[in-house]
């Protein structure tokens, strides 16, 4: 589903997606309309503008995920303003791409976002990482004052987790470590289970919070 208040831009994005082999199930110019139709349209992924005329993109994300919790959201915005990026990610956006991105970069972001991979315009990635670290510092201790304890991961799981935190795809991780794509998937799934996380976005946040992306 494509949500953008500029008709020419919205139609252009929908056309590019269709020509790339994706099925566009809905196209909306307002946030409230997107929240209303998501239940019937049942998109796997929403390409969403941050600035909409009725409600903010952040409010739309919350509404979309309330109606369809497993939907992936790729923000496509002209703004790289710090607070807007962070608010979108905290609300549940899987990725954030600037409208200045080229077509190939956009289609790659769509593919990766649909697969649950966190995707950010390179200049925004450091901003998001820094915020996660700041939040981690605040949560360094448990509520009772005792240090936060983390489940034990194997050396290989930690290595894979570090590369996930850097935003690498499964294919890239497999090539880097000389493993099969399936083996990398298994390591990620095992790590998700140990950490009681649900997807790669949460896993990335966990890794970043512990400085594993460095």
- The tens digit of pLDDT for each residue in 28-38 reads 999 999 999 99
41/78: higher pLDDT: 41
Q: What is the pLDDT of residue 30?
A: 93
Report helix, strand or coil for 188: helix
What mean pLDDT value characterizes the chain? 79
Cα–chain-centroid distance for residue 212?
18
139, two tokens: 């949560």
Q: What is the pLDDT of residue 118?
A: 73
Maximum mean pLDDT: which of 32-36, 94-98, 109-113: 32-36
Residue keyed to tokens 């090539």: 175
63/194: higher pLDDT: 63
Ordered DSSP codes for 4-71: -S-HHHHHHHHHHHHHTT-----EESSHHHHHHHHHHH--SEEEE-S--SSS-HHHHHHHHHHH-TT-
Distances (CA, A) of 180 to 110, 174, 175, 185, 188: 24, 6, 8, 9, 13
What pLDDT, in 10s, does the model give residues 116-157?
Answer: 777 776 555 555 555 555 655 554 554 554 445 556 778 888
- Model confidence band, residue 199 (pLDDT cutoffs 50, 70, 90): low
At residue 202, φ and ψ (nearest 5 deg) are -65, -40
Distances (CA, A) of 8 to 1, 35, 79, 88: 15, 21, 18, 24
Domain 142-209 annotated CATH 1.10.10.10: yes
Q: Hey, where are the domains in the chain?
A: 2-131, 142-209
Task: Specify the CATH architecture of the domain 2-131.
Answer: 3-Layer(aba) Sandwich (3.40)
189, two tokens: 């799934």
Report helix, strand or coil for 195: helix
Read off the pTM: 0.62
Q: What is the pLDDT of residue 45?
A: 95
212, two tokens: 């594993």
Q: What is the pLDDT of residue 168?
A: 78
Q: What is the pLDDT of residue 31?
A: 92
């Amino acid at each position: 589903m494509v949500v953008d208040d500029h008709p020419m831009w919205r139609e252009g994005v929908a056309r590019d997606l269709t020509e790339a082999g994706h099925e566009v199930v809905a196209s909306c110019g307002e946030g409230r309309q997107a929240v209303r139709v998501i239940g019937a349209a049942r998109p796997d992924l929403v390409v969403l503008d941050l600035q909409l005329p009725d409600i903010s993109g952040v409010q739309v994300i919350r509404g979309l995920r309330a109606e369809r919790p497993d939907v992936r959201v790729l923000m496509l915005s002209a703004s790289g303003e710090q607070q807007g990026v962070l608010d979108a990610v905290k609300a549940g956006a899987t990725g954030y791409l600037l409208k200045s991105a080229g077509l190939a970069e956009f289609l790659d972001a769509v593919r990766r976002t649909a697969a649950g991979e966190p995707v950010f315009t390179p200049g925004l990635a450091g901003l998001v990482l820094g915020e996660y670290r700041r939040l981690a510092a605040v949560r360094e201790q448990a509520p009772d004052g005792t240090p936060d304890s983390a489940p034990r991961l194997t050396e290989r799981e930690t290595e894979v987790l570090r590369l996930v935190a850097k935003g690498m795809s499964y294919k890239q991780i497999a090539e880097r470590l000389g493993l099969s794509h399936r083996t990398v998937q298994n390591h990620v799934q095992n790590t998700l289970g140990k950490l009681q996380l649900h997807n790669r976005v949460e896993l990335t946040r966990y890794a970043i919070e512990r400085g594993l992306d460095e």
